[in-house]
Amino acid sequence: MGQGKKTILIVEDDSILSSLIKEYLEKQDYNISTEPRGDCAAYRILEESPDLVILDLMLPGKDGLSVCRDVRSSYKGPILILTAKEDDMDQVAALEMGADDYVKKPVKPRVLLARIRALFRRAQSSPIVNSSEKIKHFGILEIDSSSRVVRLEKEKISLTTLEFDVLWLLASEPGKILSRDHIFNSVKGFDWDGTDRSIDMAISRLRKKLKDSSENPLKIKTIWGSGYLFVEEAWN
């Protein structure tokens, strides 16, 4: 499930620190992007709408406080200020400006993580409504993503989680070639290592369960050197 990971934008001009935090948080299973410039930060926050923003105060282009003020009215996620400035009045100003936390450098990664988690616990945000279609029909095949049930000629087929996810993805774009790379990424949420053949296996097991011949597959075709393709017309 790709949607699972939370995204965090780190706005920080010290690239060493920035990538240090990035690495640490990536290990904790967050999706991290970084931005060194203050004047680009506001734009990117609104554009990417990350689940959380880590914001430095002293930045080239525009200071963090202004960024915070500028985005606060439209960006609803938590903003965590991370800065070396010692002044208490900055802290007060930032918090009043709409920041949710103010942490002084240097900070232990473990502490930063705990604070991030506390903010997420409170925010609990996920207003992204999945308005896309929940049920797909292709002749004798029916796929229901809210109950995760697949029927073939009205008969229920029991698929595993991975098999279902792959089928749903392919069926979402019938007639289009999807690379292993892309399938892997969409289904697992992280990148393909190039040697993994789990997708091959999932396809193989899917074909068997969907009664598609493997030597001459009509329903899920192999595009040699490119990937796989769901054939819409094959289910009648």
Does 193 contact its own copies by CB under 8 A?
no
Residues engaged in binding DNA (CB under 7 A): 70, 158, 160-163, 180, 188, 195-198, 200-204, 207-208, 214-215, 217, 222-227
Which three-class secondary structure state does DSSP give residue 193?
coil
In this structure, the chain runs to a length of: 236
CB 142 within 8 A of CB 136: yes
CB of residue 230 to its own copies, shortest distance in Å: 10
CB of residue 146 to DNA, shortest distance in Å: 18
CB 33 within 8 A of CB 56: no
Does 146 contact its own copies by CB under 8 A?
yes
- Quick one: what does residue 77 bind among its own copies, DNA, none, with the CB cut-off 5 to 8 Å set by partner type? none
Closer CB to DNA, residue 77 or residue 227? 227
Phi then psi for residue 17, to 5 deg, are -60, -45
Q: What is the 3-state secondary structure (H, E, C) of 118-182?
A: HHHHHHCCCCCCCCCCCEEEECCEEEECCCCEEEECCEEECCCHHHHHHHHHHHHCCCCEECHHH
Say how far apart CA 232 and CA 75 lie, in whole Å. 41
Does 83 contact its own copies by CB under 8 A?
no
CB of residue 155 to DNA, shortest distance in Å: 17
**DSSP at 224:** T
Closer CB to DNA, residue 28 or residue 226? 226
Counting residues that bind its own copies (by CB under 8 A) gives: 62
What residues between 101 and 130 interact with its own copies by CB under 8 A? Answer: 101-102, 108, 110-111, 113-115, 117-118, 121-127
Binding mask 198-217 for its own copies (x = CB under 8 A): ------------------x-
Residue from the set 20, 46, 84, 177 that interacts with its own copies by CB under 8 A: 177
Closer CB to DNA, residue 195 or residue 236? 195
For the beta sheet containing 135-138, the strands, ordered from the edge strand earlier in sequence to the opposite edge, are 135-138, 141-144, 149-152, 155-157
CB 145 within 8 A of CB 171: no
Does 91 contact its own copies by CB under 8 A?
yes
